[in-house]
Structure 1
Amino acid sequence: MKKVIFVTYVFPPMAAVGSQRVVNFCRFLPNHGWQPVVLTVKGGHNTSWDNSLLKKIPDTIVYRTNTLEPYFWLSSLRKSNTEAFSKNKTTAEQSEPVSKLSLLKRIKQFLLLFLRVPDEIIFWLPFAVLKGIQVVKEEQISVIISTSPPVTSHICASLIARFTKIPHIVDFRDLWTLNHTYDQRHYPPFFRKYDKWWENLVLNRASEIVTASPAFTKLLQKHLSGKITIKTITNGFDYTDVDLNRIFRSASGKKMNILYAGSIYSDFNPEFFLEALSEWIQDKQIDPHTVAVDFYGNCGFDYSEWLKQLKLDTLVSFHGFIPRDQLLKRMETADYLLLLLGFKDEYKSVIPAKLFDYLATGIRILAIAPNGITVELIKKYNAGSWQCSPDKTAMKSLIDRLYTCAINGTTEEKKYRYIKEIDRSYLAGELANILDQHAADNIENQRKL
Structure 2
Amino acid sequence: MQAIKDLKKVLIITYYWPPAGGPGVQRWLKFAKYLPSFGYQPVIYTPENANYPILDKQLIDEVSEHCIIVKTPIREPYRLANLLGAKKAKTMSSGIIKLSRKQNFAEKLMLWIRGNFFIPDARVGWVKPSVNFLVNYVQKHNIDTVITTGPPHSMHLIGMKLQELCNLHWIADFRDPWTTIGYHKELKLTAFAIKKHLELERTVLNKADQIIVTSKTTKSDFQKITQKPIKVITNGYDVEYVGKVELDDAFTISHIGSFLSNRNPRVFWKALAELRKENKAFKAAFQLKLVGRVSNEILDAIREFDLDSCTINVGYVDHKQALIEQRKAQVLLLIEIDSEETRAIIPGKLFEYMAAERPILAIGPEQADFFEIIKETNTGKVALYDQKEEIKEILLNFFKSYQEGTLKVYGMGLQYYSRKKLTESLAKLLETKNV
Question: What TM-score, normalized to structure 2?
Answer: 0.88
Query: Partner of 2:79 in structure 1?
Result: 73
Structure 1 letter corresponding to 2:175: R
> Could you report, residue by residue, the CA deviation over 1:225-249 in whole angstroms, capped at 9, with x for unpaired residues?
xx2111111101112x138xx9865
Please give the alpha-carbon distance, in whole angstroms, between the structure 2 residues aligned to 1:152 and 1:105. Answer: 23
Structure 2 letter corresponding to 1:234: T
Q: Kindly indicate whether residue 29 of structure 2 is the aligned counterpart of residue 43 of structure 1.
A: no
SS of residue matched to 2:118? coil
Please give the alpha-carbon distance, in whole angstroms, between the structure 1 residues aligned to 2:109 and 2:101. Answer: 21
Structure 2 letter corresponding to 1:346: E
Q: Superposition pairs for residues 198-209 of structure 1, below 5 Å?
A: 198-209=200-211
Please give the alpha-carbon distance, in whole angstroms, between the structure 1 residues aligned to 2:399 and 2:359. Answer: 12
Q: 8 Å contact 2:124–2:154 — kept in the other structure?
A: yes
SS of residue matched to 2:309? coil
SS of residue matched to 1:311? coil
Please give the alpha-carbon distance, in whole angstroms, between the structure 2 residues aligned to 1:416 and 1:108. Answer: 45
Query: Partner of 1:358 in structure 2?
Result: 353
Q: 8 Å contact 1:367–1:385 — kept in the other structure?
A: yes
Structure 2 letter corresponding to 1:385: K
Please give the alpha-carbon distance, in whole angstroms, between the structure 2 residues aligned to 1:247 and 1:346. Answer: 39
Report how far residue 323 of structure 1 moved.
Answer: 1.2
Q: Kindly indicate whether residue 401 of structure 2 is the aligned counterpart of residue 395 of structure 1.
A: no
Please give the alpha-carbon distance, in whole angstroms, between the structure 1 residues aligned to 2:381 and 2:278. Answer: 22
Question: What TM-score, normalized to structure 1?
Answer: 0.86
Query: Partner of 1:447 in structure 2?
Result: none
Q: 8 Å contact 1:343–1:390 — kept in the other structure?
A: no
Query: Partner of 2:231 in structure 1?
Result: 231
Alignment partner for residue 276 of structure 1, among 255, 271, 287? Answer: 271
Q: Which has the higher contact order (CA 8 A, sep 6+)?
A: 1
> Could you report, residue by residue, the CA deviation over 1:8-33 in whole angstroms, capped at 9, with x for unpaired residues?
11111101312110101100000000
Q: 8 Å contact 2:282–2:399 — kept in the other structure?
A: no
Q: Kindly indicate whether residue 157 of structure 2 is the aligned counterpart of residue 155 of structure 1.
A: yes
Please give the alpha-carbon distance, in whole angstroms, between the structure 1 residues aligned to 2:339 and 2:113. Answer: 31
Q: Percent identity?
A: 26
> Could you report, residue by residue, the CA deviation over 1:311-337 in whole angstroms, capped at 9, with x for unpaired residues?
222221222221111111121111111
> Could you report, residue by residue, the CA deviation over 1:51-81 in whole angstroms, capped at 9, with x for unpaired residues?
22222212211111111112x1233322546
Name whichever of 294-303 and 362-371 sits farther off: 294-303
Please give the alpha-carbon distance, in whole angstroms, between the structure 2 residues aligned to 1:43 and 1:214. Answer: 35
Q: Superposition pairs for residues 297-376 of structure 1, below 5 Å?
A: 297-301=292-296, 304=299, 306-370=301-365, 371-376=367-372
Name whichever of 38-47 and 17-26 sits farther off: 38-47
SS of residue matched to 1:223? coil
Alignment partner for residue 250 of structure 1, among 247, 260, 275? Answer: 247
Alpha carbons of structure 1 residues 416 and 231: separation in structure 2 relative to 1, 3 Å: closer
Query: Partner of 1:172 in structure 2?
Result: 174
Please give the alpha-carbon distance, in whole angstroms, between the structure 1 residues aligned to 2:126 and 2:118. Answer: 12
Query: Partner of 1:444 in structure 2?
Result: none
Query: Partner of 2:4 in structure 1?
Result: none
Query: Partner of 2:68 in structure 1?
Result: 61
RMSD between superposed Cα atoms in Å: 2.8
Q: Superposition pairs for residues 190-201 of structure 1, below 5 Å?
A: 190-201=192-203
Q: 8 Å contact 2:265–2:385 — kept in the other structure?
A: no
Report how far residue 390 of structure 1 moved.
Answer: 1.8
Q: 8 Å contact 1:259–1:295 — kept in the other structure?
A: yes
Q: Superposition pairs for residues 22-37 of structure 1, below 5 Å?
A: 22-37=28-43
Query: Partner of 2:94 in structure 1?
Result: none
Please give the alpha-carbon distance, in whole angstroms, between the structure 1 residues aligned to 2:298 and 2:177. Answer: 30
Structure (1 or 2) with the greater helix fraction: 2
Task: Show structure 1 runs of 5+ residues with no match.
Answer: 84-88, 442-449
